[in-house]
Amino acid sequence: MKEKLESIKSSALYSIEQAKDLKALEELRIKYSGKKGELTTFLREMKNLSKEQRPIIGQLANETRELIEDKIKHTKIILEKKQEDKKLLDEIIDITLPGKAVAQGKLHPLEQTLEQLCDIFIGMGYEIISGKEVETAYYNFDALNLGPTHPARDEQDTFYITEDLVLRTATSPVQVHTMENQPLPIRMIAPGKVYRSDEVDATHSPVFHQLEGLVVDKDITFGDLKGVLAEFAKQFFGDKVEVKFRPHYFPFTEPSAEVDVTCVMCQGEGCSVCKGEGFIEILGCGMVHPKVLEMAGIDPNVYQGFAFGMGLERLTMLKYNINDLRLFYENDIRFLSQF
């Protein structure tokens, strides 16, 4: 009897293991544990056993039944999962087909540059101040130490509305208004549209965008100006950028400087963008001219300051390797969607 039980057990476990699908498994269940199954029959035949043998074989038989039933249950789970997987595989789709379009707008690339600059300078404690695009000649020129005979006032450079009203040629008038009206210390940037009498071409536009900054406080040094702009350059162009300050001249700052950074195209190797110099000019800056402070009612013996100005178009063109300024004003969606 014992041998018979063993043989049922091993053949059952083996064939269950081999069952290919749920149907085969069900057949095996019937074959072994069904009403007329081998194990059921065996259990039924136990009554013929001796009294001594019955509990021993009985226990063995029960264990075998549990074993087989467990095995069936377990195999069923596996086969069910297999069947489910197979069904899912039949639902295969081409995942390389494009996704469903989601309407997605973006900031204009110049707005994106402006946002980035605002973030950088806000982080350093600057406010953002905007001003009028039509200004008096006083605020556009005189208050910035560009006297009545200065060439920048020529009609060939500046758009005039009347003799005394101009389209601002820089956002600097905003700085003058701020110095006149706001309590010190001042830390501000003035972004906005500016106007110059330039025909439209790949690098010029009669309307373009500038961002100027101004700091006025006690104990401001030229070294601080270097520090702030080096930090700006790092944040905007990346940590590796090298910053070079070159002496320059602006009527409204003294000392004045132009700032060059490692060419973004060639990383300083020299290319057509930097004309082989490895550096490109990105902005002008300097210590606010004492006369400018004085005209705005600030005592230059007590307060100093620095100012800087940069073109958003130029920065953006450098950043994305854009070679034609006109693209910014065409607003072709294929251009706008690239940034």
- Range 269-308, binding another protein (CB under 8 A): 287, 289-290, 304
Let me know: does 319 contact 259? Beta carbons within 8 Å.
no
Element (H, E) at 247: strand 243-250
Shortest reach from residue 268's CB to another protein, in Å:
14
Q: Which stretch binds another protein (CB under 8 A): 34-42, 64-72, 74-82, 207-215?
A: 207-215
- Please, which residue, 44 or 150, has the CB nearer to another protein? 150
Q: Whole-number minimum distance, CB 250 to another protein, in Å? A: 9
Least gap, CB of 321 to another protein (angstroms): 19
Closer to another protein by CB, 85 or 127: give it: 127
CB of residue 129 to another protein, shortest distance in Å: 9
Contact call for residues 212 and 175 (beta carbons, < 8 A): yes
Judged by CB under 8 A, the residue of 165, 180, 238, 323 near another protein is: 165
Task: Give the C-alpha distances (Å, rounded to integers) separating 22 from 73, 177, 268, 326.
Answer: 11, 85, 70, 70
Strands 253-262 and 243-250: antiparallel
Q: Does 249 bind another protein (CB under 8 A)?
A: yes
Listed residue (180, 138, 144) closest to 163, CA to CA: 138
- When binding is defined by CB under 8 A, the residue of 142, 217, 268, 320 that contacts another protein is 217
Q: According to the binding rule CB under 8 A, does residue 220 interact with another protein?
A: yes
Rule CB under 8 A: choose which of 133, 142, 268, 271 binds another protein.
133
Q: How far apart are CA 39 and CA 50, in angstroms?
A: 19
Spatial CB neighbours of 163, under 8 Å, sequence gap ≥ 6: 137
CB-wise, 141 or 328, nearer to another protein?
A: 328
Interacting stretch for another protein, rule CB under 8 A, among 13-21, 65-73, 81-89, 133-141?
Answer: 133-141
Name the minimum Å distance from CB 243 to another protein. 8
Report if residue 234 touches another protein, rule: CB under 8 A: no
Q: Which is nearer to another protein, 54 or 234 (CB)?
A: 234
Question: 72 vs 137, which CB is nearer to another protein?
Answer: 137
Q: Which residues inside 93-132 make contact with another protein, applying CB under 8 A?
A: 102-108, 110-111, 118, 121-128, 132
Contact set for another protein, span 185-204 (CB under 8 A)? 185-187, 193, 195, 197-199
Is 138 a binder of another protein (CB under 8 A)? no
Contact 236, 315 (CB under 8 A): yes
Q: Which of residues 62-91 bind another protein (CB under 8 A)?
A: none
Q: Is 322 in the site for another protein (CB under 8 A)?
A: no
Task: Indicate the burial class of 117 (C-beta count within 10 angstroms; 0-12, 13-18, 19 or more).
Answer: buried
Q: Residue 81 and residue 79: Cα distance in Å, rounded?
A: 5
Half-sphere exposure of 62 (CA within 13 A, CB side): 5
Spatial distance between the Cα atoms of 132 and 135, rounded to a whole number of angstroms: 6
Of 75 and 304, nearer to another protein (C-beta) is 304
Q: Give the shortest CB-306-to-another protein separation in angstroms.
A: 9
Contact indicator for 256, 250 with CB cutoff of 8 Å: yes
Q: Point out which residues pair with 193 in neighbouring strands.
A: 209
Residue of the chain from 98, 99, 223, 297 that contacts another protein (CB under 8 A): 223
Please, what's the b/e burial string for 127-166 (b: 16 or more CB within 10 A of its CB; e: otherwise)? eebebeeebbbebbbbbbbbeeeeeebeeeebbeeeeeeb
Residue 18: C-alpha distances to residues 5, 71, 311 (Å):
20, 11, 76
